[in-house]
Chains A and B, each alone.
Chain A
Amino acid sequence: MACSVVFFAPLCSALADTGGLKTFVAVDLVGEAFVRSKVVSPREVEVRGVEVFFLAPVDPLFDAAVGIAAHPENGVSLFELHEATLSSSKLIPHTQLRMGKGFLYIGKLNRIHQHDWPFIDSPEVQRSFFDDEGVNDLLLEVTVNTPTSMPFEATAGVAKGWVYGHAHNEGKRPQVPTHYSRVQTFFDLPLGGALQVAGNYLGRTASDSVQTQLFGVDLTAKWREGRRVPLLLQGEVWLRRVKAPQVDREDALGMYLFPQMNLLDSLDFGIRFDQFSVLTTEDALGESIDISSYRIVPTLTYKPSEFSTFRIAYAWDLKRRGDATPNVTNSSLLAQMTYVIGAHPSHEF
């Protein structure tokens, strides 16, 4: 009553938070110690990311999300805008619209925040093709879910594309902006499991006429029993094709596969296998040669609740040239702690 007398009504309602505003903060702390290293110096423990999110309905048709995130760069962590999107699932039946700045709805890791990944570090394919954390841009995106007995979801989007990945400059107007699509379906598996599999495409032609195309498949299979997920299988395979004027086309293939099993109520063990190859490498004689890198990362996860996670992992990096046996080039110990406070929204499958 006093509120309506003293304040202008909208301000009053804002003060009372009747707008359904939900906030959460996610902190992601990682450490890496190189046990055997040829190139890199040991990294210290650092806060890899702090994300602050605000989510709320704007009006009966639209919902909004605003997220700022701080990542360490050159020893300093500064907050920058990660997401500022307006979305609607009420305008057109079976269709979700999203516009603004955000991560492109493509692949698996690109669609989820780093603190929600099931492992600590970024696979080489993600680092090379999606700039580590993911491709974030000004976008306009449409996702359609078909109301059929066979679940089917199709996404198409276009992003500004002046820069690709994480950049602190405004970039240059591309000849063809970043455009992408994802088509996903879903199957039941024996013993109560389920598999989601999707095909992805991303394309862009930069201002200097360098044309990039990405073709990928992502999959997630899960067997759930209450809070426990006895078995999780997550993986992605991507082929990148880069064509620059006057230069031969470069093809690179990368993938990771992460099976994880539940050991006890809150304890999971998984091993990630990464592989990355430039398919068009030639030796001094102009002969095609296979140079591949691999990473094997056994990971132990303790997750007492869905809001806190502790991980420890050991990573072996291997390189192979031609038909030779792969050699271990680096090995390191990794650790991670993440926690979320506030109202974190539900995750995708």
Chain B
Amino acid sequence: MVHLLAVAVALLSSFKSFSVNAQIAAKKPLVITTTTDLAWAAREILGDAVEVRSLLNGREDPHFVDVRPDYVAQVAQADVVCAVGLDLEVGWLPKVISKAARREIQPGGRGYCDFGSRIQALDKPLQQVDRSQGDVHPQGNPHYWLSPSVLAQASREVIDATERVRPELKGKFEARYSEFKRMMLGLEARLKARLVSANITGEQARFAEYHREFSYFARSFELTSHDTLEEKPGLSPSAGRLGKVATGLRRDKITIVLAARTAPTRVIQKFEEISGLKVGVVSVSVSQAPGSDVETYPQLIEKIIDTLIAVSEKNAAKLR
């Protein structure tokens, strides 16, 4: 009788473990990214083999985000958690991950993926950084996703992380990743040609930006950042600073001024009044929120290029 019971228990437990394993294998791995741009890239590369969700909706400024309990709940379900990295999310993501309380997705865990670790960061401070210099990122500029080629390079990280948590998927994403890289380089080349045909080259390719977030974008599209409206990163510029930048831009005949949609509207309006120049206010992240005109990454980059050309033409007429 005892033997029979033991056999029954063993059979039941092996059946149970088989069904649990089968469930795990059948369930798609869940990849959670901090931003919509990483989510778009992850979906393109990983396809239907995984479920991808983004914590942010593309309308927030990823520097300033609250430790929302719904982020904690989402991260707690994730197999892979992907960050832009380079300290962009340092103010909130470590706490979200810590509260989700799962060892696998914490930094160093097999499900943690840092896109920024794959790239050569620009604007890395050469001297020691402190808070008197504003919100400087000691590891370099984190806004690399606005360069199609750099985003393609960084996106390799999501494949490695997914394969670490699901070794059975190893090698299944290589073809899609190659296609993704080709698409991103094609996008970059096509839009670069548009800038050339719009005569935005050489001296005409100089631009000013509200916050230094177009460095990688500028390198990809052969533009030169001339100045920033912010005197110190993360701090609202004074009227005096805006006046100084405006004078410099008019003197040097700079026709392109760009700002992210998250930049303070009041400051941008003030700058337009002072300088008489139009600022191209653009989305800097993909958004699938209702009413968004940048639902995919190619749409996002094309929209920035369109705005840049339009602003350049408008301001050139004013400065003539």
Closest Cβ of chain B to A75, distance in Å, is: 33
Tell me whether A265 and B76 are in contact in the complex, defined as CB-CB below 8 angstroms, given that A89-B99, A348-B67 are known contacts. no
Instruction: Indicate whether B296 reaches chain A with its CB closer than 8 angstroms.
Output: no
Instruction: Indicate whether A190 reaches chain B with its CB closer than 8 angstroms.
Output: no
The A-contacting residues of B in range 36-57, CB under 8 angstroms, are none
Inter-subunit contact B131/A89 (CB<8 Å): no
Instruction: Indicate whether A188 reaches chain B with its CB closer than 8 angstroms.
Output: yes
Inter-subunit contact B100/A226 (CB<8 Å): no
CA distance A304 to B234 in the complex (A): 10
Q: Which residues of A contact B235 (CB under 8 A)?
A: 304-305
CA distance A266 to B236 in the complex (A): 9
CA distance A172 to B94 in the complex (A): 40
Q: Mark A180-195, 1 if CB is under 8 A from B, else 0.
A: 0000111010001010
The B-contacting residues of A in range 146-171, CB under 8 angstroms, are 146-153
CA distance A93 to B234 in the complex (A): 36
Contact of B69 (CB < 8 Å), options: A94, A186, A307: A186
Q: Which residues of A contact B63 (CB under 8 A)?
A: 226-227
CA distance A225 to B59 in the complex (A): 9
Instruction: Indicate whether A74 reaches chain B with its CB closer than 8 angstroms.
Output: no
The A-contacting residues of B in range 154-192, CB under 8 angstroms, are none
CA distance A150 to B264 in the complex (A): 33
Q: Which residues of B contact A93 (CB under 8 A)?
A: 101-103
Instruction: Indicate whether B295 reaches chain A with its CB closer than 8 angstroms.
Output: no
Instruction: Indicate whether A145 reaches chain B with its CB closer than 8 angstroms.
Output: yes
CA distance A192 to B68 in the complex (A): 12
Q: Mark B93-114, 1 if CB is under 8 A from A, else 0.
A: 0110011111100101000000
Q: Which residues of A contact B234 (CB under 8 A)?
A: 227, 305
CA distance A40 to B262 in the complex (A): 48
Q: Which residues of A contact B59 (CB under 8 A)?
A: 192
Contact of B73 (CB < 8 Å), options: A95, A96, A149, A222: A149
Q: Which residues of B contact A150 (CB under 8 A)?
A: 73
CA distance A60 to B234 in the complex (A): 34
Inter-subunit contact A346/B67 (CB<8 Å): yes
Instruction: Indicate whether B60 reaches chain A with its CB closer than 8 angstroms.
Output: yes
Inter-subunit contact B70/A188 (CB<8 Å): yes
Interface size, chain A (Cβ < 8 Å): 41
Closest Cβ of chain B to A123, distance in Å, is: 23
CA distance A348 to B72 in the complex (A): 11
Inter-subunit contact A346/B92 (CB<8 Å): yes
* Residue in chain B with minimal CB distance to A93: B102
Inter-subunit contact A96/B99 (CB<8 Å): yes
Tier of interface size on chain B: 35 or more
Q: Mark A217-252, 1 if CB is under 8 A from B, else 0.
A: 000001011111000000000000000000000000
Contact of B68 (CB < 8 Å), options: A147, A264, A265, A349: A349
Instruction: Indicate whether A347 reaches chain B with its CB closer than 8 angstroms.
Output: yes
Instruction: Indicate whether A173 reaches chain B with its CB closer than 8 angstroms.
Output: no
Instruction: Indicate whether A345 reaches chain B with its CB closer than 8 angstroms.
Output: yes
* Residue in chain A with minimal CB distance to B103: A90
Q: Which residues of A contact B65 (CB under 8 A)?
A: 224
* Residue in chain A with minimal CB distance to B92: A346
Instruction: Indicate whether A329 reaches chain B with its CB closer than 8 angstroms.
Output: no
Inter-subunit contact A151/B101 (CB<8 Å): no
Inter-subunit contact A147/B76 (CB<8 Å): yes
Inter-subunit contact A307/B131 (CB<8 Å): yes
CA distance A188 to B106 in the complex (A): 26
Instruction: Indicate whether B91 reaches chain A with its CB closer than 8 angstroms.
Output: yes
Q: Which residues of B contact A188 (CB under 8 A)?
A: 70
The B-contacting residues of A in range 244-293, CB under 8 angstroms, are 264-266
CA distance A95 to B70 in the complex (A): 16
The chain B residues found within 8 Å of chain A, CB to CB, are 59-61, 63-70, 72-73, 76-77, 91-92, 94-95, 98-103, 106, 108, 131, 234-236, 262, 264, 266-267
Q: List 10 A-B contacts (CB under 8 A).
A: A93-B101, A93-B102, A93-B103, A96-B101, A145-B73, A147-B73, A153-B99, A185-B69, A186-B69, A305-B131
Which 4 A-B residue pairings sit nearest by Cβ, starting from the closest? A147-B76, A186-B69, A151-B69, A89-B101
